[in-house]
């Protein structure tokens, strides 16, 4: 009927049913009731309204468990009544929408006895009248939320009703029964009429409601028409309206002209409310929501708890007073809930069940790295890269910055080991300096021994660069310092091995190696081999230097502060060069293992290089298989283990002779085996 093309002269003085559906959806959304049952007759208007309701509920994330229709022309059969009863009693939805007129509600009240069904919220589209006989015999175990057109008391109207002479009204049974009901002793004083007999009669709806029937809508309709007529009468002569004599009757009374003024009518009623028709010919009124509940004393409580005005500004169209609600005692949760599934708390998301409505779901925890900070989230949100979910996964917290520090047990242990090895090397160096003039120190190339011990001392200190928070300077020095210092150690060992071989060859008569026995050959080996490694490191620092890097992906929930090597090729070239030096030393020492014992240090060097190579060969796969600060710990361990291997295999035996077996530290003992 709101189609102005088909019905241009139709004006609605009660709210449009489209607004009624919108108001019901607003109420459902406010309380989060997304699981409902709809019961309605099968007339065209109700079916159309149910379809609008269904669409609106689903668009707002709700679902309908059942839609049950019954005949609006025939009596309800036993099978139909039992079916509706079964649906209501077995339904998991706690909200039932009854979309029908007042007579149909009363019919359902009689046929199904919906008043005695506990734990349900009935949403009706009118404020139906519950006869006193029901409240006396039946305790209402549910809440009824009734949508009614806006009703207000018109000033002086109730006084007019009380003082009206009924003899002036039409004489028929309905009018006479209606008028006599005002004499009922249970009628409110505001409308109770003074009668000769104060009797208890069959109550009428207007005696059980706060406002006097539908007078407010009728009042606005009459005044809208009156104002339109007034505007038409007071218009100028262009409307072709003239008067005849004292009766001032219309000569030209065309309905279409009144239609022109009705469309534009705008007035304020006696309550100060501005009234007008919208573009569809609907009066700009809305709906009230009444909460009807039975109190423990079987008295009915009827309170206006909400209102819906579709013409109000957005956000102000639906107002509700939750404090005015009185919920039935059968509800364990207040306000009651009507959901197919329990709400998913923050930290969880919904997982829809197969072959079931979207409102029926399971709750699963958000995956790692994601959170949900609201209830009933469809999906979880990934935290920013520098943040991580808390234990409940309902908000993001900053990631812990992690690196191998001096405060943690692993860092403390590696630092202590480094210092202990450093002290041992210092002690050995002190022993060698103190006994520098003894034969065993002189026989093993004293200067190269000093150089090896100093480089091993520096390698222990170099390992401390890997502990602590990385910065630009430590990242630059870590690998390059380690590479250069170890190249000095290995080149010195290589020079020592070559010196042993040449020393043996020089003892032979007429040997040409005598002139090379001075220190220049060993110095040349150490200088050239170390310089080549220094050039490798310099090129590395110039082309692609190491730098601090925040690794956000290596460890879950942490930001790893590490040194990015810059060029991984340069890193493995440095390690490869050290392996080359160790390999050459191992081969040369292995070939010289059968020289006389007195001059032969090659056996110890062979074993030391075997230990060194074993450590670094096992280092590479271990280094590649670890992550985070443990990669740094593996490299520190390799540095300390290889340094200890060199120290133990080359210098500990000499210290044993110097300190424990001093009788062997003599020229006579060293030359004994050779003379033999």
Q: What is the pLDDT of residues 226-238, one digit of tens each?
A: 888 888 878 754 5
d(CA 562, CA 566): 12
Q: So what's the pLDDT on residue 83?
A: 85
Q: So what's the pLDDT on residue 509?
A: 53
Beta carbons of 211 and 153 less than 8 angstroms apart: yes
d(CA 12, CA 388): 58
Q: So what's the pLDDT on residue 534?
A: 92
Q: So what's the pLDDT on residue 187?
A: 65
**Which residues of the chain does CATH 3.40.50.2300 include?**
1-150+286-340
**Which residues of the chain does CATH 1.20.1070.10 include?**
409-507+514-675
State the DSSP code for 237. G
Q: So what's the pLDDT on residue 137?
A: 46
Residue with tokens 């010289």: 592
Q: What is the pLDDT of residues 325-337, one digit of tens each?
A: 888 777 878 888 8
Q: So what's the pLDDT on residue 254?
A: 64
End-to-end alpha carbon distance in the chain: 131
Residue with tokens 């709700």: 62
Residue (of 436, 454, 456, 434) closest to 445 by Cα position:
436
**What DSSP element (H or E) covers 90?**
helix 78-90
Q: Which CATH architecture has domain 1-150+286-340?
A: 3-Layer(aba) Sandwich (3.40)
Question: CB under 8 Å to 522, separation ≥6 — which residues?
Answer: 445, 447, 448, 495, 496, 498, 499
Q: If you compute the radius of gyration of the chain from its CA atoms, what whole number of angstroms results?
A: 50
Question: CB under 8 Å to 18, separation ≥6 — which residues?
Answer: 2, 52
Q: So what's the pLDDT on residue 133?
A: 42
Beta carbons of 125 and 100 less than 8 angstroms apart: yes
Beta carbons of 574 and 479 less than 8 angstroms apart: yes
Cα 589-592-595 angle, rounded to 5 deg: 140
d(CA 42, CA 49): 11
364: region left, alpha or beta (phi > 0 left; psi from -120 to 50 alpha)? beta
d(CA 54, CA 38): 9
Beta carbons of 394 and 346 less than 8 angstroms apart: yes
Q: Domain 409-507+514-675: what homologous superfamily?
A: Rhodopsin 7-helix transmembrane proteins (1.20.1070.10)
d(CA 352, CA 338): 17
d(CA 64, CA 93): 9
Residues in the chain with pLDDT values less than 70: 1-4, 113, 115, 127-141, 174, 178, 181-182, 184-214, 236-255, 296-299, 444, 503-519, 593-600, 669-676
Residue with tokens 């489209």: 18
């Amino acid at each position: 009927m709101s189609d102005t093309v088909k019905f241009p002269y139709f004006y609605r003085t009660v709210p449009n049913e489209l607004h009624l559906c919108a108001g019901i959806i607003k109420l459902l959304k406010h309380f989060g009731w997304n699981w409902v049952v709809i019961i309605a007759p099968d007339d065209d208007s109700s079916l159309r309204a149910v379809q609008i309701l269904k669409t609106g509920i689903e668009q707002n994330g709700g679902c309908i468990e059942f839609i049950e229709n019954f005949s609006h022309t025939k009596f309800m059969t036993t099978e139909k009544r039992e079916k509706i009863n079964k649906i209501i009693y077995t339904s998991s939805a706690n909200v039932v929408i009854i979309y029908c007129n007042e007579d149909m509600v009363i019919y359902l009240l009689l046929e199904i006895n919906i008043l005695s069904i506990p734990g349900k919220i009935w949403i009706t589209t009118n404020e139906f009248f519950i006869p006193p006989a029901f409240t006396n015999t039946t305790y209402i175990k549910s809440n009824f939320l009734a949508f009614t057109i806006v009703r207000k008391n018109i000033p002086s109207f109730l006084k007019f009703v009380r003082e009206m002479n009924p003899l002036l009204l039409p004489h028929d049974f309905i009018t006479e029964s209606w008028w006599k009901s005002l004499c009922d002793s249970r009628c409110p004083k505001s409308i109770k009429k003074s009668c000769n007999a104060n009797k208890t009669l069959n109550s009428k709806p207007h005696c059980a409601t706060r406002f006097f029937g539908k007078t407010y809508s009728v009042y606005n309709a009459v005044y809208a028409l009156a104002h339109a007529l007034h505007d038409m009468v007071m218009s100028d002569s262009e409307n072709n309206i003239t008067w005849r004599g004292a009766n001032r009757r219309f000569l030209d009374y065309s309905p279409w002209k009144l239609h022109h003024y009705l469309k534009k009518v705008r007035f304020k009623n006696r309550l100060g409310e501005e009234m007008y028709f919208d573009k569809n010919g609907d009066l700009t009124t809305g709906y009230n929501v009444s909460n009807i509940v039975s109190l423990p004393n079987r008295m009915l409580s009827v309170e206006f708890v909400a209102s819906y005005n579709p013409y109000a500004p957005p956000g102000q169209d639906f107002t509700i007073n939750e404090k005015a609600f009185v919920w039935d005692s059968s509800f364990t949760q207040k306000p009651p809930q009507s959901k197919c599934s329990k709400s998913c708390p923050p930290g969880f998301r919904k997982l829809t069940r197969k072959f079931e409505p979207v409102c029926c779901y399971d709750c699963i925890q958000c995956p790692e790295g994601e959170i949900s900070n609201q209830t009933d989230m469809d999906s979880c949100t990934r935290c920013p890269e520098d943040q991580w979910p808390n234990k409940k996964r309902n908000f993001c917290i900053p990631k812990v910055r992690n690196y191998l520090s001096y405060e943690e047990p692993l860092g403390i242990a590696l630092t202590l080991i480094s210092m202990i090895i450093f002290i041992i090397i210092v002690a050995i160096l002190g022993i060698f300096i103190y006994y520098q003039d003894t034969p065993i120190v002189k026989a093993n190339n004293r200067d190269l021994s000093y150089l090896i011990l100093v480089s091993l001392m520096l390698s222990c200190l170099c390992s401390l660069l890997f502990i602590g928070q990385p910065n630009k300077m430590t990242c630059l020095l870590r690998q390059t310092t380690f590479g250069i210092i170890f190249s000095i150690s290995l080149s010195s060992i290589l020079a020592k091995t070559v010196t042993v071989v040449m020393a043996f060859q020089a003892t032979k008569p007429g040997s040409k190696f005598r002139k090379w026995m001075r220190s220049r050959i060993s110095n040349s080996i150490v200088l050239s081999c170390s310089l080549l490694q220094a050039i490798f490191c310099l090129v590395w620092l110039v082309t692609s230097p190491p730098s601090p890097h925040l690794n956000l992906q290596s460890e879950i929930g942490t930001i790893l502060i590490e040194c990015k090597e810059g060029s991984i090729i340069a890193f493995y070239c440095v390690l490869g060069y050290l392996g080359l030096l160790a390999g050459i030393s191992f081969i040369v020492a292995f070939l010289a293992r059968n020289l006389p014992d007195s001059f032969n240090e090659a056996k110890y060097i062979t074993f030391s290089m075997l230990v060194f190579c074993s450590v670094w060969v096992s280092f590479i796969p271990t280094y590649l298989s670890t992550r985070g600060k443990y990669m740094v710990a593996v490299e520190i361990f390799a540095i300390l283990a290889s340094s200890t291997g060199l120290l133990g295999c080359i210098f500990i035996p000499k210290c044993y002779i110097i300190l424990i077996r001093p009788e062997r530290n003599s020229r006579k003992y060293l030359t004994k085996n050779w003379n033999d």
